[in-house]
Amino acid sequence: MKTVSLRLVVAALLAAIGLTAFIIGLNYDFGSARRMGPGYFPIVLSAALTLLALAECASAILKPDPTSADTLVWRPLIAILAAVAGFAVTIYLFGLIPAFFVVIGLSTLSERGYGWKPAVILSIITCIGAWLLFSQLLGMALPLFRLGF
């Protein structure tokens, strides 16, 4: 019995995520390349993700790599999933700036030996950049800080 490669599993998961996002994006107005609707960007990105993932699936099936060690490293997987979930919860409850500290702090747990000082510096720089981009340049009304539930 032939085992399924980790590369194929990951590519299939990415294809499923891309296809799901594509289907959700169909509920929004697409618009055109000149006058983009709210569905344009998600549909184009999810279609690209799905096509690339399907190409990787085909590559994994047609050209298996017998020398690759297909072991799943759990630490980065859990850290990145926790960072995404933490960002979603924190931006909803506390605002954009605390959410960046949470996502960067949890993401740094994916790599051993990454200190807290570089994470804090990266968080501060990211917060300044996000404030400049979203609040000043784009004029979006994202709450930087939110106290309360």
Q: Which amino acid is at 123?
A: S
Question: Which contacts of 114-117 are long-range, i.e. CB under 8 A and separated by 24 or more positions?
Answer: none
Classify residue 64 as left (phi > 0), alpha (psi -120 to 50) or beta: beta
pLDDT in tens, 72-105: 677 888 888 899 999 999 988 998 889 999 999 9
For the chain, what are the domain ranges?
6-62, 74-137
Q: Convert the pLDDT of each residue in 103-143 to its tens digit.
A: 999 999 888 888 888 889 999 999 899 888 888 887 777 78
> Are 130 and 96 in contact, with CB atoms under 8 Å apart?
yes
Q: Dihedral sign, CA of 16, 62, 56, 25?
A: negative
Q: Once rounded to an integer, what is the mean pLDDT over residues 33-61? A: 89
pLDDT of 14 strictly over 60: yes
Q: Please tell me the distance from the alpha carbon of residue 18 to that of residue 16, in angstroms, as a whole number.
A: 5
